[in-house]
Amino acid sequence: MRQGRFLKYILSLALITPFAYQAQSQNVNAASAFAGKEDTYYKLCSSKKLSKSKQQTCQEFNTYLKGRSKDLKSQIASTKKSVQSTKSSITTMQKKITSLNSQINTTKKRIAYVKVSIANTEKALNKKESTLKNRIYAAQATTNSNSYVSYLFGADSFSDFFSRVSTVGDITSYENDLMDQINKTKANLKTQKQTLTATQANLTSARRQSKVILSQYNEKLKEQEATLRKSTGDLGNNEESIQQIAKNLADMKEAERKAAVAAAKIAAQKKALAEAKEKAEAEAREKARIAAQRQAAAEAAAKKAQEEAEEKRRAAEEASAAKKAAAEAAAKKAQAEAAAKKKAAQQAASAAQNASASSNASSNAQGNDDDNSSSSNSASTSNSSASSANSSASDDNDSSSSNAAASSNSSSNSSNSSSDDTSSKSQSSTSSSSSTSDDSASAKVTNASVSGDDIALKALSKRGAPYVWGASGPSTFDCSGLVWWAHAQCGINFGRTDTRGLSSMGSTVSYGNLQPGDVLIFSSNGSYSGIHHTGIYIGNGMMVHAPHSGATVSVVTVSSGYYRNQFYTARRLY
């Protein structure tokens, strides 16, 4: 178990060590790359526009500067310690020099004192020597020859004199003791003087050395303080550069972030615009498709209505021709019958005349009156038959004309009902079309008390009702169904018709004179053939309408945009 843990530890250490060495190697390489080139990189990293690679270089340079700041701080701390140590040494040395000066002054005073003592002692000794010389001379002068005296007093010094006297051996014990005392005193004073002189020399030398050391310490302190100032200045500049470079890099990152946000915002706006454009185009395509479908349906319905009208017209013409032929045949038959009756009457009259040729005058007169009456009755009968035939023919012709007119009116109304939102095609018949045509021709209100506001309010009351093609209310509508329903609710009954039918009703109203309740007609091509939609004007440039499948009755503007461009005409039906 322990061996396993040890192996794991060894493997971990083996994996970590190369990375640590690599990181250390990279730091060393970075330091060697930037060392001595700081000014160049200061200038580079002060630029407000840097590429990604240069930003990375400046980041590494800033890391190098931070390491340098750390070294400078360590160096400054060490230099400060050295300065304090040097200042302490200078203080110690100054105290030592002060002490040496004090000792030198004390030694000088002692030397001066010893010199005075020596001078005084020498005076006393000289006096004693003189006294001793005199005594010895007096003693020797009385006992010895002049040559001996000359020998003694020929000495160079008192010591020499005393030595000669000692050699001669004529000195008394007192004199000998006195001489020893004098010699000891001289030797002692000499020793003191030598000692003090040596001490003064040593102190002076020590002071001189101390001053040299103090001067060295002062020079060292100046150098250390200069180094400290330079290091402190370098550290300040280094820290300032670090902050400036960091700020510059941060500003660039912030600028990049803002640019990215702005770019994202612009991209989102472009995307939204593109989506809106695509949606608008899709809606336009859908509307165009619906309009095309409605147009195609309207054209197909118009064509079918036209074909039906043409068929009815031909049937009416054929019926009229048949009735006319029958009337003509009946008239001819009546005329033939009248002629036959007339001829028979004439033949009967002629036979009667022949039969009564032998009658008397009164009988002839009576016979003539009867003939005239008979002739008159026959003529009357013939005329009555002809008149009846003619009347029958005339009635047939009027009926035929009336039927033809009705067929024509029905065809006209069917043609007018070709709008894509036509809702009355399946309800129309020949009689209803004729009635609708008559109502449309009048196109005026049967209720003079109704206002356009009433019509607009009725239409507005159905906002939210679903659109259903061909519906006329009260819960679902198409565009023309809503117009018809609103008018019908106000007592204006013009018959259920389509948008094109509405375009020819009532009186024309210009766009500038629109009033609430006016019927608006819209066309895709500015002509009758492009009519595709209708609504009711409610004022303030707005209308209420049933738009299309999937929508509900709503209010839209007609003062601008799609419906303003599609406006064809306006009709006032009240």
331: tokens are 């008239």
Q: Write the CATH number for 102.
A: 1.10.287
Closest CA relative to residue 103, chosen from 203, 228, 190: 203
Residue 87 is assigned to a structural domain of this protein: yes
Distance in angstroms (rounded) separating the CA atoms of residues 333 and 337? 6
213-222 pLDDT per residue, tens: 989 989 999 9
pLDDT digits (tens, 9 = 90+) for 392-410: 333 333 333 333 333 333 3
What pLDDT shows up at residue 420? 40
pLDDT recorded at residue 487: 96
**Residue 401 near residue 325, CB atoms below 8 Å:** no
Residues 340-353: what's their mean pLDDT? 76
User: Does residue 303 belong to any structural domain of this protein?
Assistant: no
Q: pLDDT grade, residue 357 (50/70/90)?
A: low
Tell me which of 168-172, 329-333, 352-356, 379-383 is least confident: 379-383
Confidence label for 41 from pLDDT (cuts 50, 70 and 90): confident
pLDDT score for 432 = 33
Domains contained in the chain, number: 2
Q: Residue 392: what pLDDT?
A: 35
Give me the pLDDT at residue 546, please: 96
Is 407 part of a structural domain of the chain?
A: no
374 exposure class (CB count in 10 Å sphere: 0-12, 13-18, 19+) = middle
* Residue-wise pLDDT tens digits, 117-139: 888 887 887 887 777 777 666 66
* Chosen domain end from 246, 261, 276: 261
Q: Per the omega criterion (within 30 degrees of 0), is the bond before 474 cis?
A: yes
Q: What is the mean pLDDT of the chain?
A: 76
Confidence of residue 433 (pLDDT cuts 50, 70, 90): very low
Does the pLDDT at position 431 exceed 80?
A: no
Q: Average pLDDT for residues 353-381, to the nearest whole number?
A: 45
Look at residue 207 and tell me whether its pLDDT is greater than 70: yes
Q: What pLDDT score was predicted for residue 361?
A: 45
Here the CATH number for the domain that contains residue 525 is: 3.90.1720.10
Is 532 annotated in the active site? no
The predicted structure's pLDDT at residue 486 = 96
Whether residue 535 has pLDDT greater than 50: yes
Cβ-based burial of 130 (10 A; exposed 0-12, middle 13-18, buried ≥19)? exposed
d(C-alpha 495, C-alpha 189), whole Å: 164
Better-predicted residue by pLDDT, 211 or 314: 211
pLDDT over threshold 60, residue 434: no
Segment 89-96 long-range contacts (CB within 8 Å, at least 24 positions apart): 89/217, 90/214, 90/217, 90/218, 90/221, 93/210, 93/213, 93/214, 93/217, 94/214, 96/210
Look at residues 261, 277, 297 and tell me which one is the last residue of a structural domain. 261
Q: Which of 45, 58, 479, 490 is catalytic?
A: 479
479 assigned to active site: yes
Look up tokens 């280094």; give the residue: 238
Q: Is the pLDDT of residue 15 over 60?
A: no
* Residue 549 belongs to some domain of the structure: yes
Quick check: 42 pLDDT over 60?
Answer: yes
Active-site residue, from 487, 490, 532, 545: 545
Q: Which of 261, 279, 294 is the last residue of a domain?
A: 261
Q: Above 60 in pLDDT, residue 106? A: yes
pTM across the whole model: 0.36
Of 33-37, 38-42, 412-416, 477-481, where does the model show the most confidence?
477-481
| 378 domain-assigned | no
The stretch 65-87 carries a mean pLDDT of 91
Separation of alpha carbons 502 and 519, rounded Å: 8
- The CA distance from 488 to 270, in Å, is 50
For the chain, how many helices (H) and strands (E)? 12, 6
Q: Which of 58, 490, 532, 533 is catalytic?
A: 533
Residue 29 has pLDDT above 90, yes or no: no
Rounded average pLDDT over 252-265: 90
Is residue 376, in this structure, part of any structural domain at all?
no
In a domain, 114, yes or no: yes
Contact at 8 Å (CB) between 179 and 159? no
Report yes or no on 94 lying in a domain: yes
- 178: containing domain: 55-261
487 is catalytic: no
